[in-house]
């Protein structure tokens, strides 16, 4: 290839153009990079200045906030920094420990030597963190929750103290005072110089009261049956959460309350408002026995409510607290010390049964029992004497019932003749009618034996409710029973077996045996008054009567030995009384009296068609049924002819 002059000049020009372009690109890129660096530096400087300004503003704002907090609620922060401490209050019956933290009761111990726990020490209702009563106050800028704060004890004496919580230039004071020789602790809440702290609409404060209830008795399941939250309304009605089942809750209240009680079988803590409580929610949660180790707990109680409060401090929120035994007379006497014009009826916390049963226990059994316990004799002997007195009182009814059965027994040959007269089933109504007429002629009522026994049932049920709630039996031994208020585990194998538990109660076994013997005597007595057909029809009922005591054993095996002692001795007395009545009753003489009565009634023209008596009404009913049956048979015959 030949290169001429023009070609060389073209190549040189192209190289110059390319070199110039590359120089230009490099120069432009460098300037742009420098410009970007300057912009980035400028932006960084601006951002730094902005951050500095914002940081300063935040710092100033924080300082201002701290100054505001220190100005208004510095005492609350100080109250959270104080050391813990306790103040002990005592009277003749109570020893109360007030903790600085929360300004609340930390421990309650009964000093009466009558009340010991299972280890032989004085009963402690609660201790340490088992109970918590927090008061909640709504402020304008900050809320007060007392259990998070430390109070300062002031004006402390042996039986009173004021727990003071400093707030701004004022304080909230909780004053405690034990009433001499009582189980009553007076409480009052007052605001001092805090008008600016609370909103003008504040008229109340909230109370959140919770506690793990200690197991105080040997029988976990039995004690649980009588442990629950109880309350009394301003309409003088006492109500409670059901103690049965595991967890319960109540949040639908129609009325305000006079008091709220955390109750176990024999001990209670009752919070009483001088004005009233507005309830919000009550809850109870069941603890499982097998999941507990050292201190056993029955249930956890939680009560949420509110009561009146005056932020100006002109009036004081007054409350009282009963911390003691569920003894009827003790509750009644301590209620008088409350100096309250309302009918608090603290005694209603002792469950005495349904309305009718309750009145029998309250106005008869209690006075009789208190009178006998004042003798100072063994409580087992008291129960035996009580049983003997009751059996003597109902003996006339038992005798009347026995004689009614005896009259039917001596008339049985005449009833058997009627059965032979009407052997066919279609004549059953006629036979029943003439049987009723026979009884009416001799002045005998088949219901005469049942009515007296029914009259005794309320007393039987009354003692069923009374004895398990009688704290006088607690810790009292009799024969092989160490404690009449709980089961007597003569045989104990330590391992829980379904339906029977880990023991056998000997008094319960004796009661079941006496009941079976009584059933046998009763069935034998009834057999002497029944026809063969009636005896055949009653076989199933007889077997049920024998089985029932065995079924009851699985329930009563866990009941108090005092109750089983009463039922056993009552059954034993019934056997002896029935034997006495049978030995002192001459059937021939009784039949002669009935024949004489029959002749007198027949001569006077009374008793034969009389319908005013029970037998007369039964006879009239039988005649009416006979007439209806006759009409049905005639109608059926007419249909068959058609």
Q: What is the pLDDT of residues 471-489, one digit of tens each?
A: 999 999 999 999 999 999 8
The Cα 274–Cα 170 span in angstroms is 25
Residue-level pLDDT at 441: 74
Share of the chain above pLDDT 90, in %: 38
**pLDDT at residue 621 greater than cutoff 70:** no
Which residues fall within 8 angstroms of residue 256, CB to CB, at 6 or more apart?
233, 234, 276, 277, 278, 279
**Per-residue pLDDT tens over the stretch 528-570:** 666 666 666 666 777 777 788 888 888 888 889 999 999 999 9
In 215-290, DSSP assigns E strands to 228-233, 238-240, 248-250, 257-263, 267-286
At the topology level, CATH places domain 86-351 in: Beta-galactosidase; Chain A, domain 5 (2.70.98)
CB 573 within 8 A of CB 518: no
Please give the C-alpha separations between residue 592 and each of 289, 409, 595, in angstroms, as whole numbers. Answer: 65, 13, 5
Which residues fall within 8 angstroms of residue 302, CB to CB, at 6 or more apart?
208, 209, 210, 281, 282, 283, 284
The Cα 422–Cα 433 span in angstroms is 11
Give the pLDDT band (50/70/90) at residue 62: very low
Residue-level pLDDT at 216: 92
**Per-residue pLDDT tens over the stretch 6-15:** 555 555 555 5
| Closest to 475 measured CA to CA, from 222, 224, 116 | 116
Residue-level pLDDT at 243: 77
**Per-residue pLDDT tens over the stretch 368-405:** 998 999 898 999 999 999 999 988 888 888 888 888 77
**Per-residue pLDDT tens over the stretch 585-617:** 888 888 888 888 777 777 766 554 444 455 555
Domain ranges of the chain: 86-351, 370-624
75 in helix, strand or coil? helix
């Amino acid at each position: 290839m030949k290169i001429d002059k023009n070609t060389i000049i073209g190549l040189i020009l192209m190289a110059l153009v390319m070199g110039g372009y590359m120089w230009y690109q490099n120069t432009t890129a460098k300037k742009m990079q420098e410009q970007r660096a300057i912009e980035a530096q400028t932006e960084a400087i601006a951002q730094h200045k902005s951050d500095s300004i914002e940081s300063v503003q935040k710092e100033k704002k924080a300082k201002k906030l701290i100054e505001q907090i220190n100005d208004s609620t510095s005492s609350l922060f100080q109250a959270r920094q104080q050391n813990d401490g306790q103040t002990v209050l005592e009277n003749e019956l109570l020893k109360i420990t007030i903790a600085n933290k929360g300004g609340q009761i930390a421990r309650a111990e009964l000093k009466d030597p009558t009340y010991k726990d299972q280890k032989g020490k004085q009963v402690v209702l609660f201790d340490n963190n088992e109970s918590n009563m927090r008061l909640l106050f709504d402020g304008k800028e900050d809320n007060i929750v007392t259990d998070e704060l430390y109070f300062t004890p002031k004006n402390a004496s042996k039986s009173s103290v004021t727990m003071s919580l400093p707030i701004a230039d004022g304080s909230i004071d909780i004053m405690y005072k034990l009433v001499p020789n009582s189980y009553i602790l007076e409480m009052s809440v007052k605001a001092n110089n805090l008008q600016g702290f609370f909103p003008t609409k504040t008229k109340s404060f909230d109370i959140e009261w919770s506690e793990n209830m200690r197991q105080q008795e040997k029988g976990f399941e039995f004690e649980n049956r009588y442990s629950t939250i109880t309350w009394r309304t301003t309409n003088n009605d006492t109500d409670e959460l059901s103690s049965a089942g595991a967890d319960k809750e109540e949040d639908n209240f129609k009325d305000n309350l006079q008091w709220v009680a955390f109750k176990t079988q024999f001990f209670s803590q009752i919070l009483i408002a001088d004005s009233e409580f507005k309830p919000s929610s009550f809850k109870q949660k069941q603890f499982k026995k097998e999941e507990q180790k050292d201190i056993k707990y029955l249930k956890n109680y939680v009560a949420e409510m509110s009561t009146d409060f005056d932020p100006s401090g002109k009036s004081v929120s007054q409350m009282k607290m009963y911390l003691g035994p569920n003894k009827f007379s003790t509750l009644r006497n301590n209620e008088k010390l409350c100096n309250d014009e309302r009918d608090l009826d603290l005694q209603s916390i002792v469950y005495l049964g349904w309305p009718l049963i309750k009145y029998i226990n309250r106005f008869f059994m209690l006075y009789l029992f208190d009178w006998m316990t004042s003798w100072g004799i063994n409580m087992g002997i008291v129960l035996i004497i009580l049983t003997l007195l009751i059996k003597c009182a109902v003996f006339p009814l038992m005798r009347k019932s026995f004689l009614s059965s005896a009259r039917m027994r001596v008339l049985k040959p005449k009833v058997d003749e009627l059965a032979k007269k009407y052997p066919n089933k279609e004549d059953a109504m006629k036979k029943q009618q003439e049987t009723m007429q026979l009884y009416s002629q001799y002045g005998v009522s088949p219901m005469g034996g049942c009515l007296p026994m029914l009259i005794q049932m309320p007393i039987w049920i009354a003692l069923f409710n009374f004895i398990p709630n009688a704290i006088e039996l607690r810790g009292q031994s009799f024969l092989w029973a160490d404690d009449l208020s709980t089961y007597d585990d003569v045989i104990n194998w330590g391992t829980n077996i379904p339906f029977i538990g880990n023991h056998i109660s000997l008094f319960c076994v004796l009661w079941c045996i006496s009941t079976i013997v009584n059933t046998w005597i009763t069935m034998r007595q009834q057999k002497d008054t029944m026809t063969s057909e009636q005896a055949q029809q009653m076989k199933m009922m007889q077997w049920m009567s024998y089985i029932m005591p065995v079924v009851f054993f699985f329930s009563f095996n866990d009941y108090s030995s005092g109750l089983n002692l009463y039922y056993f001795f009552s059954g034993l007395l019934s056997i002896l009384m029935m034997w006495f009545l049978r030995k002192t009753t001459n059937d021939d003489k009784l039949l002669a009296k009935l024949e004489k009565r029959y002749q007198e009634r027949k001569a006077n023209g009374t008793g034969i068609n009389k319908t005013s008596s029970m037998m007369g009404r039964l006879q009239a009913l039988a005649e009416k049924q006979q007439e209806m049956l006759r009409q049905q048979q005639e109608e059926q015959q007419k249909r068959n002819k058609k």
